[in-house]
């Protein structure tokens, strides 16, 4: 019998358009944004407790607080967007519509209603040959269409979108719930950026 919440919970549409610079070399995909009450900016990985922007700060600036306005406890959204555009880094999520079966940001409580059409997204980014999934839910959602199992954390597999071969990387979740220090998560992300020559 289906969980009643799976049919009564409202469908939530993705709040943002893909951040897809034309020069993007890599696309990072999370699962879905957290509830609006947890946002500290109107952009990807907005929860101040999420480690994503801390990891990026560690790797590129040797400072996990580089993108954080410490007094306001917010992320520096404009600076983040400039950095991503300069480096050629795209962001979106594996789902465009979900139901939250719990009133939280847990991936385990997300029911995917509509998965993202990755082929359409990649068509906007002719130089993108890499996808990095930042968590198990994102990996499972993307690879369901390819009948492939997610690689182990830190490893990659090749998948195909039409004529384009893309390397899909599995990275540790940047959620605070994932029991690994930001510096340790950064080691996996640094390996990826080195491999694709963005460092």
Give residue 61's domain range: 5-195
| CA dist., res. 63 & res. 54, Å (int) | 8
pLDDT of residue 112: 93
Comparison of pLDDT for 77 and 102, the residue scoring more: 77
In 3D space, the residue among 112, 160, 120 whose CA is nearest the CA of residue 138 turns out to be 112
Taking a C-beta distance cutoff of 8 angstroms, is the pair 34, 46 a contact?
yes
Phi then psi for residue 81, to 5 deg, are -65, -40
- Give the CATH number, domain containing residue 64: 3.40.470.10
pLDDT of residue 104: 62
Task: Using the structure block, give the residue that is written with the tokens 């490893």.
Answer: 155
Q: Residue 119: pLDDT above 90? A: yes
The whole-number average pLDDT for the span 148-174 is: 94
pLDDT of residue 68: 97
pTM of the model: 0.93
pLDDT of residue 7: 61
pLDDT band at 70 (very low <50, low <70, confident <90, very high): confident
Structural domain count, the chain: 1
């Amino acid at each position: 019998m289906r969980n009643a919440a799976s049919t009564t919970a409202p469908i939530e549409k993705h709040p943002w358009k893909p951040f897809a610079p034309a020069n993007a070399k890599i696309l990072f995909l999370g699962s879905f944004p957290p509830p609006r009450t947890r946002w500290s900016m109107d952009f990807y990985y907005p929860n101040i407790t999420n480690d994503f922007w801390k990891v990026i700060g560690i790797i590129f600036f040797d400072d996990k607080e580089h993108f954080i306005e410490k007094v306001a406890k917010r992320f520096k959204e404009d600076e983040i967007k400039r950095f991503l555009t300069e480096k050629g880094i795209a962001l979106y999520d594996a789902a465009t519509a979900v139901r939250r079966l719990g009133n939280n940001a847990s991936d385990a409580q997300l029911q995917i209603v509509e998965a993202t059409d990755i082929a359409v997204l990649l068509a906007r980014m002719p130089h993108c040959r890499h996808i990095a999934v930042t968590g198990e839910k994102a990996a499972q959602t993307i690879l369901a269409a390819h009948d492939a199992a997610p690689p182990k954390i830190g490893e990659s597999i090749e998948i195909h979108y039409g004529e384009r071969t893309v390397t899909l990387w599995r990275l540790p979740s940047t959620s605070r719930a994932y029991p690994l220090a930001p510096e340790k998560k950064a080691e996996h992300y640094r390996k990826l950026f080195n491999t694709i020559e963005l460092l």
